[in-house]
Amino acid sequence: MGFRLRPRTTDELLDGARKVGGALGHPCVYDLLDFARLPMAIVEGDTQIVCYVNPALCQLARRSSKEVIGRPFAEILPAGDKCLLLLDRVYRTGKSESHTEQEDAAPHPLYWSYEIWPVLAESSEDDRPAGVIIQITETAPFHRRVTAMNEALLCAAVRQQELTEAALALNTKLQAEMKERKQAQEALLRSEMLASAGRLAASIAHEINNPLEAVMNTLYLARASVDRPDSAREYLEIADGELLRIAHITRQTLGFYRESAEATTTSVSALMASVVDLLQSKIRSSGAAIEQQCEEHLQVMAVFGELRQVLANLLANSLDAVGENAVVKLRCSASRSPSTGRRYIRMTVADNGRGIDAATVKDIFEPFFTTKGTVGTGLGLWVCKQLVAKNGGSIWVRSNTDGKRRGTTFSVVLPGAAIQAETGQKLGKSCARL
């Protein structure tokens, strides 16, 4: 025989709840439910009259236990809540039920989860439950956790992107440093090669210097002899001049460009003429025509021997690049810088040979770089650049391998010397096929 809870008064309802607790076999179960963190309630009868609520449910419903106990459970729920149907079904069938509902709310919807199970009496005539226990769970914190997880994932993605960009930047920097290190190693190798070549050149210059002095002394005696024919005078003068130039080069090599010679005022036209005279044999064998264009009285401040060495090297390279009946032009002109007003002298050596491709042009001033195979040393243009820079100038190259403008032009720009007399200047032009 079971109990029938008759919710007449509050005291009677509380007493009925205790009887329900007794039906569970735990007379003090409500003392435990009072400390439960989840909202819980016990209802009885077809009308679902509340006979017990714990403090958690009172806090959720924002009502006191006296306001809820003895009232239908429907007054706590929103209108049309399906929980009421489940309560009635559990009360009739004696089987547990669960249900989840959504409620619109900002910023995220709320989800309510109901767990409903029957409270069976020790004995009952119709096997109906003595009551029904309801447990309510609010799942809004789950959405807050999901939001927090999404924010954490977003932050992680942003951080990963930052780390990826940092890694790319470090990789780019590493590649640049590796390239710089490779260039430094190549420069070091070139320096070692230059140092070795310099030591070898100094040794050779030292050995040449002694016999060179003997030859110069012999020429001096030959020039001073009264028995020499007049036809040999010119040749002795040329030989003496070239020996003086060789002696100057040996002093350069031994002193590593710290020779005692200083820059002097040098006539450009005389410089060009001496270079053409020096290379007469090579000009004849090439079959090329040398065309000279130079304004008279143009002068530069430079060491004559060094500048002559530069122009001779450039002219010799042009003669190697052209064929028979070609033209090599030696030009010289003066100009002033529009920014500083300083006077400059430009000397050019231009040919109509096969030209130099762009990939080669960028390396032609590097030491030991040559396009002449085993014939070339790769030091000619590098020495030219060093000598021009030593005299305060610069050297440029322009080349074309196609069309009517095919050929190569080297330009040497040097600071000009003061002109003593600018009146009566004429444009001198000569063309010779030697």
Domain boundary among 89, 114, 138: 138
Residues 277, 134, single domain; the answer is no
Split at pLDDT 50, 70, 90, the class of 348 is very high
Beta strand pairing call for 289-295 and 327-336: parallel
Distance CA 90, CA 97 (A): 7
Query: When comparing pLDDT for 39 and 191, which is higher?
Result: 39
Beta strand pairing call for 40-44 and 49-53: antiparallel
Per-residue tokens: 270: 């005389």
Bond before 107 cis per omega within 30 degrees: yes
Contact 168, 161 (CB under 8 A): no
Average pLDDT, the chain: 76
Residue 273 lies in a domain: yes
For residue 370, give every residue at least 6 positions away whose Cβ sits within 8 Å of its Cβ, in sequence order, or none. Answer: 376, 377, 378
Give pLDDT, residue 381: 85
CATH assignment of the domain containing 401: 3.30.565.10
**b/e string for 248-268 if b means 16 or more Cβ within 10 A?**
bbbbbbbeeeebeeebeebbb
Contact 91, 120 (CB under 8 A): no
pLDDT per position as a tens digit, 211-264: 777 777 777 777 777 676 766 777 777 777 777 777 776 766 665 434 446 778
Domain boundary among 99, 121, 138: 138
Helix axes 304-321, 268-278, angle to 10 degrees: 50
Distance CA 124, CA 46 (A): 16
Distance CA 147, CA 140 (A): 11
Query: When comparing pLDDT for 157 and 141, which is higher?
Result: 157
pLDDT per position as a tens digit, 250-284: 766 665 434 446 778 888 888 888 888 878 878 88
Residue 164 lies in a domain: no
Residues 420, 284, single domain; the answer is yes
pLDDT per position as a tens digit, 361-397: 888 888 777 777 766 667 788 888 888 888 888 999 9
Give pLDDT, residue 418: 57
CATH assignment of the domain containing 21: 3.30.450.20
Residue 409 lies in a domain: yes
Give pLDDT, residue 65: 87
Residue 27 lies in a domain: yes
Residue 289 lies in a domain: yes
Answer whether residue 315 shows pLDDT above 70: yes
Residue 269 lies in a domain: yes
Residue 46 lies in a domain: yes
pLDDT per position as a tens digit, 396-432: 999 988 877 888 999 999 988 754 434 334 334 444 3
Count of domains observed in the chain: 2
Domain boundary among 109, 138, 167: 138
Residues 128, 268, single domain; the answer is no
Contact 121, 4 (CB under 8 A): no
Give pLDDT, residue 287: 86
Give pLDDT, residue 105: 56
Give pLDDT, residue 411: 92
What residue type is assigned to position 71 of the chain?
R
- Helix or strand or coil: residue 429? strand
Q: Mean pLDDT lowest for which of 9-13, 82-86, 231-235, 324-328?
A: 9-13
Q: Mean pLDDT lowest for which of 64-73, 75-84, 118-127, 291-300?
A: 118-127
Residues 269, 134, single domain; the answer is no
**Phi then psi dihedrals of residue 116, to 5 deg:** -125, 130
Give pLDDT, residue 182: 80
Residue 31 lies in a domain: yes
Give pLDDT, residue 151: 82
Give pLDDT, residue 23: 46
Give pLDDT, residue 412: 93
Residues of the chain with pLDDT > 70, as a percent, come to: 73
For the segment 91-112, the average pLDDT, to the nearest whole number, is 73
The boundaries of the domain holding residue 95 are 10-138
User: What residue spans of 225-303 are helical by DSSP H?
Assistant: 231-255, 268-278, 280-286
